[in-house]
Amino acid sequence: MICDNLEHIRAAVRAAALACGRNPDAVKIVAVSKHVAAAGVAAAQACGQTVFGENYLQEAAGKISQLDPALEWHCIGHLQSNKAAAAASLFQVIQTVDRLKLAAALDKQAAQLGKQLDVLIQVNVGREPQKSGVLPEQAEELLQAMQPLASLRVRGLMTMPPLGREPEESRPWFRSLKQLSLQLAEKGLFYDNAAVELSMGLSGDFLVAVEEGATMIRIGTAIFGERTRQ
């Protein structure tokens, strides 16, 4: 099932990218393995999947220790500053940086580990009070404040837009994140302003995200099926 699902998603991404003039290889599938046992992750790896996203540190730590060290792990859940040491050690990418205190803590821990840690800024495009993320008009201020953090590489932006009944309802939110990324790149605020990452799109709306410029799509249910807490 997992292999079939991955092949279907890859084919759909390829078709969507080509239809809008994009290189399909520019879109990375992040397999969201929250509540998926290590055996499920290994099964996805056997089908060629190498990038995985986890929401919870304790769950991630238990899996990562059992699996191929060559896998790439992304933190895609809300992260408390006092968990920065564990996060910096476990993950290659932190997608949910939304405040300077967290960024500074991650920078300190990455420096102690002697590593360069890739991060994305989480933007609350829908201004939803229940969601994490910096407001769009505050993203520049945060990025400016993060410039001295030498052990972090700010690769781009991430968002979780308001939940819609139809995939098309996500399009304006994805488009606004893309526009924000262009504005911030013009000011030279990313590690590589010519290759800004945009993490947006889930199982239900990833094709719309690809059309609007996503470079990372976070896919869980469409790969692993409905999951229950392990």
Cα 224 to Cα 9, 50, 100: the distances in Å are 12, 14, 34
Q: What is the mean pLDDT of residues 62-82?
A: 97
Indicate whether 81 pLDDT > 80: yes
The residue among 197, 120, 208, 116 whose CA lies nearest residue 161 is 208
- pLDDT of res. 143: 98
The residue among 134, 142, 137 whose CA lies nearest residue 158 is 134
Element containing residue 113 per DSSP (H, E)? helix 100-113
Indicate whether 124 pLDDT > 80: yes
- pLDDT of res. 228: 66
Domains of the chain are: 2-224 (3.20.20.10)
For the chain, the maximum distance between any two Cα atoms, rounded to a whole number of angstroms, is: 46
Indicate whether 33 pLDDT > 70: yes
